Amino acid sequence: MMDWTDRHCRYFLRQFSPRVLLYTEMIVANAVLRGDRERLLACDPAEHPVALQLGGSDPEQLARAAAIGVSFGYDEINLNVGCPSDRVQSATFGACLMAQPRLVGDCVRSMRDAVRVPVTVKCRIGIDEHDDYGFLHAFVSEVAAAGCATVIVHARKAVLKGLSPKENRDVPPLIYERAWWVKRDFPSLTVIVNGGLRTVPQVAEQLGYVDGVMLGREAYHNPYLLPALHRAVHADDFQTPDPASITQSMRIYAEREMKAGTPLRAITRHMMGLFAGRAGARAWRRALSEGASRPGAGPALMDAALSAAIRFP
């Protein structure tokens, strides 16, 4: 979800459920140490609960980056050992790290020593020819021994040679049972499954075997899936917000952000899915995408887009 789940996206998605745990895009530990921390790590109080996802393979760097993340208020630090991109592999982190479970364990220990919030790991079920359950079991055993209490398992293996990151989200088959077996064999771990889940019934099936589900692009493109899942999982009085109330909330947010120098398009680009599956979706997207690039565009564009969606389905 790199370049997707930035702080503006997370603020938008928070409107759809007060309980869902939101994650940042993966941020390289070295960038946290050397880059613009405010730009990389700033988050709004409304985003909580929110986890910082880090990429890296140096235990000391990751520990320092984790501590900085906690100083910005993040509720969890997640180490991404599942990203298959060439750029990540060339820096020796992401999914290729699954081949070095001891190093991942050292990274987890170092981060746990540096922070008091949970340190979690996101991985694949395997990489390249290392795609049997024994490989995954050994990896989970190592990170669990290092003190990781939550493992997020993307139920596809990563093909590091020959497939693009996009193909790695579609081509390798989903084998949810591998995540189920992790929960069976490590009952004290919190096990979260990820990959290819798009509906409430699909999520409900997984919750019969594991502790939770992580959603990515489906939640981004169809954010109303989040309140549907909230109602299915939580017995509380949360009422699903309608598009008008979410638009009003985002307009207030945009007014504040634009005063601080944020371009309107940095916010509206994450809102295209507000009418996904509803009448007016195309008019909404067109009004936002065309209007946000015009000189002088301001938060009132959201009201105009809402009117377009309602009047011209």
- Among 125, 130, 79, smallest CA distance to 105 is for 79
Q: What's the confidence (pLDDT) of residue 293?
A: 87
Which domains are present in the chain? 7-233 (3.20.20.70), 243-311 (1.20.120.1460)
- What's the rounded Cα separation, in Å, for the pair 25 and 87? 15
Tell me the catalytic residues: 83
Q: What's the confidence (pLDDT) of residue 160?
A: 84
pTM: 0.93
Residue 306, both tokens: 């809402």
- Among 50, 52, 5, 11, smallest CA distance to 31 is for 52
- What's the rounded Cα separation, in Å, for the pair 105 and 87? 23
Q: What's the confidence (pLDDT) of residue 89?
A: 47
Per the CB < 8 A criterion, the answer to whether 289 and 272 are in contact is yes
Report how far apart, in Å, the C-alpha atoms of 28 and of each of 36, 141, 190, 279, 303 are: 12, 25, 25, 40, 37
Residue 136, both tokens: 């995954």
Over the chain (313 residues), the average pLDDT of each successive run of 10 is: 88 96 96 96 96 96 98 97 65 82 98 98 94 96 98 93 76 94 98 96 97 96 96 90 96 97 96 95 95 92 95 66
